[in-house]
Amino acid sequence: MLNNILAGWLVMTLGSVDIAIENSATAVSFVPENNLEVTEYLDKIDNRVTPVIVIDHLYIENGRYVYKEPSLLKSALSESKHFSRIVFMFDEPMWRARNNGQNPEEVKHIMSAIKADFPNVEFAVIYAYAELFDRYMENYGVLDLWYEADHVGFDCYGKFNGCGGGHVPEIPQMTYLSMLYADNTRNGGNAKMFLVPGAFLNGSSFSDENLVIKQLYDYAQAANMNRKYVSGFGLFTMDDVTLSNGGTSPDQSRGAINYPGILDAGNHVIDMIVNPEQYLIVD
């Protein structure tokens, strides 16, 4: 019996939720602009798939990320009609917090505060690949991750076999995934890997549809060949989005909804993850 993996698109608008659900998804990720949208999203999901909610934007104040007491987020959960599984995702929280002068405990407090009242809510933490590289080099191979998380992953958009840029050399993405899993397991964490392949075009990460499509299939193959270590597969992104590039020179990215070839490939790899038996995948 193959283990189930949460698989689906990330969307930026509530209007895209139904489109994402139609395409074999077992999960849909969403980036709410405020806590009201959290409630609206959960009600729109209507328990059809697992909601994955990227919560960092809820902590933006005057253009800066300020992680603090999640009382409004708790209220948003209480006011929704959703009663099944929920995953909250942090997107590069330690990087953002450090840039704002906060320490990791201030971010982790959000998880412990939520779990105190909603113990079944799961948390995923996505790291920046450059942050993982720097931690590895500075701490003699110790990553010092968030070991209380239920899912961990990283983002690096570009070639699957060569993730890098700036001061970071090109390293295969499987190397990062192996490093993450090994460090997490060695330190008592129970998290599995949440994979985040890119599905968009812009001027820096992906300039060609074929590059995107190849990376999607490379990621799908990696997920299916290592299913016992993988818990999530979230395609970024169906909608348009602005990437911050570490806080400098925002990069306008066009989502898969604008490119039929990428959208079709994304839906196909989701189906490969959700229905592996149809593709002769064995555990």
Lowest mean pLDDT among 137-141, 195-199, 215-219: 137-141
What would the two tokens of residue 137 be?
A: 């080099």
Interhelix angle 129-138/173-186, rounded to 10 degrees, is: 60
- Of 124, 157, 170, give the one whose Cα is nearest residue 253: 157
Per-residue pLDDT, 280: 66
Which stretches of 118-208 are DSSP H helices? Answer: 129-138, 173-186
Q: Which CATH superfamily is domain 6-279 in?
A: Glycosidases (3.20.20.80)
Mean per-residue pLDDT, 187-201 = 95
What would the two tokens of residue 228 be?
A: 């016992």
Per-residue pLDDT, 98: 84
Mean per-residue pLDDT, 257-280 = 93
Instruction: Grade residue 81 by pLDDT with cuts at 50, 70 and 90.
Output: very high
CB atoms within 10 A of CB 148: 15
Is residue 213 within 8 A of residue 159, CB to CB? The reply is no
CA distance 195 to 29: 13
Per-residue pLDDT, 24: 67
In sequence order, which residues have a C-beta less than 8 Å from that of residue 5 and are 6 or more positions away? Answer: 26, 223, 227, 230, 231, 232, 233, 273, 274
pLDDT in tens, 205-251: 898 999 999 999 999 999 999 999 999 999 999 999 876 544 445 56
Is residue 156 within 8 A of residue 173, CB to CB? The reply is yes
Overall size of the chain counted in residues? 283
CA distance 219 to 224: 9
**Pairwise pLDDT comparison (100 vs 179), residue with the higher score:** 179
pLDDT of residue 160 exceeding 80, the answer is: yes
Parallel/antiparallel/unpaired status of strands 163-165 and 168-171: antiparallel
pLDDT in tens, 100-130: 888 888 999 999 999 999 999 999 999 999 9
Mean per-residue pLDDT, 175-196 = 93
Residue type, 238: M
Domains of the chain, by residue range, sit at 6-279
CA distance 33 to 78: 18
Q: How do the residues of the chain divide into helix, strand and coil, expressed in percent and rounded to 5?
A: 40, 25, 35
Instruction: Grade residue 281 by pLDDT with cuts at 50, 70 and 90.
Output: low
